[in-house]
């Protein structure tokens, strides 16, 4: 696996930890390419003929495929290995981060001073929404917000290399692909866009925030998240790389910004980790925060948007059931026009589109949707 890009708050990785991470990467490649591919054969040779005998048709959607596939030994075997990969990936970064938690906290703090270009504003009273507190999303222990030590950054320090390992480096050296893909989409569809104020919602450690700072160096960029540990890490990472971004601990459903504060609002893989109600609330908040003529773009994982056949929709829905991302499938079943319409956007100004991946164009494109106010 290629190595991630360097930044100043990167956890130190020992020889043995590196070897474990390499193993986990190779294990994932093997499971994804050699093992998971066998499920198609099981589906076509066993499930489809059997289903046809009793129903005189093929399974109509991913739910019917799942119901049958989950009884198959091969699916159970490949699913266990995929889950094991997720657990090993997490374990590899946990071991590494826990042993240097205090050191990383101090290091992150050293990037915060009155002269810092990137700033941090925390709100310890902010309530964590239930959709984040009820599950450890994609097995991240304590999710994005748990504090383990003074000035804690552990959630960020686990999430950052964790995403890199999950994607096997395919999202770029800084896991920035989705931000770049949205920018490319904006360049194509809104070539005259020149935002003064940009808001990134659910920024986590800022993987996708940084590309906006590169593309729009004159803009004021604010990035919000629920979790203090990811925000501390994000600020230190951004500062160490020389960017000017303001990180704030706020809930995207109900922020503290004034009406009509932003020209461009973006989010990247935020919504599938929330809930139906939160998706409506966030769209409503975006409508309130946008200046007239402003644009909101939410980017998310490319899954079972209606065009996929039932088998592919089923395989891409794995995380809903087995990787603690309960809202993943539901978001993609929703009519995404609805939250935008109910927020007040004009139906003619709503879009649902795809943004091709930049680093690996052979992979399915990101889903982008949003509206112009």
Ligand X SMILES: C[S@@+](CC[C@H](N)C(=O)[O-])C[C@H]1O[C@@H](n2cnc3c(N)ncnc32)[C@H](O)[C@@H]1O
For ligand X, the binding residues (CB under 6 A) are: 129, 132, 144, 178, 201-204, 207-208, 224-227, 230, 251-253, 268-270, 273-274, 278
30 vs 9: CA distance, rounded Å: 31
Smaller CB distance to ligand X: residue 157 or 178?
A: 178
Whether the CB-CB separation of 195 and 264 falls below 8 Å is answered with: yes
Minimum CB distance to ligand X, residue 225 (Å): 4
Smaller CB distance to ligand X: residue 66 or 298?
A: 298
Smaller CB distance to ligand X: residue 7 or 66?
A: 7
Smaller CB distance to ligand X: residue 159 or 311?
A: 159
Minimum CB distance to ligand X, residue 19 (Å): 26
Smaller CB distance to ligand X: residue 59 or 202?
A: 202
151 vs 142: CA distance, rounded Å: 16
Minimum CB distance to ligand X, residue 71 (Å): 32
Q: What is the DSSP string of 178-219?
A: HHHHHHHHHHHH-TT---SEEEEES-TT-TTTHHHHHH-TTS
Residue whose C-alpha is closest to residue 337's, from 328, 325, 346: 346
Smaller CB distance to ligand X: residue 20 or 226?
A: 226
Minimum CB distance to ligand X, residue 294 (Å): 19
Minimum CB distance to ligand X, residue 325 (Å): 9
> How big is the chain, counted in residues?
373
Minimum CB distance to ligand X, residue 253 (Å): 5
Whether the CB-CB separation of 149 and 230 falls below 8 Å is answered with: no
239 vs 260: CA distance, rounded Å: 28
195: exposed, middle or buried (C-beta count within 10 Å: 0-12, 13-18, 19+)?
Answer: buried
Which residues are CB-neighbours of 151 under 8 A, at least 6 positions away? 105, 106, 108, 109, 232
């Amino acid at each position: 696996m290629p190595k991630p890009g360097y930044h100043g708050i990167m956890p130190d990785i020992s020889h043995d930890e590196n070897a474990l991470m390499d193993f986990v990467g190779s294990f994932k490649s093997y499971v994804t390419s050699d093992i998971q591919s066998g499920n198609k054969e099981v589906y076509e040779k066993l499930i489809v003929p059997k289903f046809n005998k009793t129903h005189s048709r093929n399974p109509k959607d991913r739910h019917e495929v799942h119901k049958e596939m989950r009884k198959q030994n091969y699916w159970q075997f490949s699913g266990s290995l995929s889950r094991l990969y997720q657990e090993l990936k997490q374990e590899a970064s946990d071991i590494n981060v826990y042993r240097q938690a205090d050191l990383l906290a101090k290091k992150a703090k050293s990037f915060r001073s009155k002269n810092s270009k990137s700033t941090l504003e925390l709100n310890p009273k902010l309530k964590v929404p239930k959709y984040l507190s009820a599950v450890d999303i994609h097995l991240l222990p304590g999710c994005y917000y748990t504090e383990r030590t003074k000035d804690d950054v552990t959630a960020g320090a686990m999430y950052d290399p964790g995403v890199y390992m999950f994607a096997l480096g395919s999202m770029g050296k800084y896991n920035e692909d989705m931000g770049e893909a949205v920018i490319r989409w904006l360049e194509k569809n809104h070539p005259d866009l020149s935002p003064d104020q940009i808001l990134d919602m659910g920024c986590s450690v800022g993987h996708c925030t940084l590309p906006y700072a590169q593309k729009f160096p004159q803009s004021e960029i604010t990035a919000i998240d629920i979790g203090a540990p990811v925000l501390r890490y994000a600020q230190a990472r951004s500062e160490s790389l020389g960017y000017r971004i303001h990180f704030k601990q706020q809930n995207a459903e109900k922020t503290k910004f004034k009406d009509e504060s932003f020209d461009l609002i973006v989010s990247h893989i935020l919504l599938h980790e929330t809930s139906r109600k939160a998706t409506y609330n966030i769209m409503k908040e975006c409508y309130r925060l946008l200046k007239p003529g402003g644009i909101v773009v939410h980017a998310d994982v490319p899954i079972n948007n209606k065009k996929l056949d039932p088998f592919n929709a089923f395989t891409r829905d794995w995380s809903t059931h087995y990787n603690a991302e309960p809202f993943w499938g539901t978001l993609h079943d929703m009519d995404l026009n609805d939250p935008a319409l109910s927020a007040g956007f004009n139906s003619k100004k709503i879009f649902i589109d795809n943004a091709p991946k930049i680093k690996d164009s052979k992979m399915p494109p990101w889903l982008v949707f949003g509206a112009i106010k």
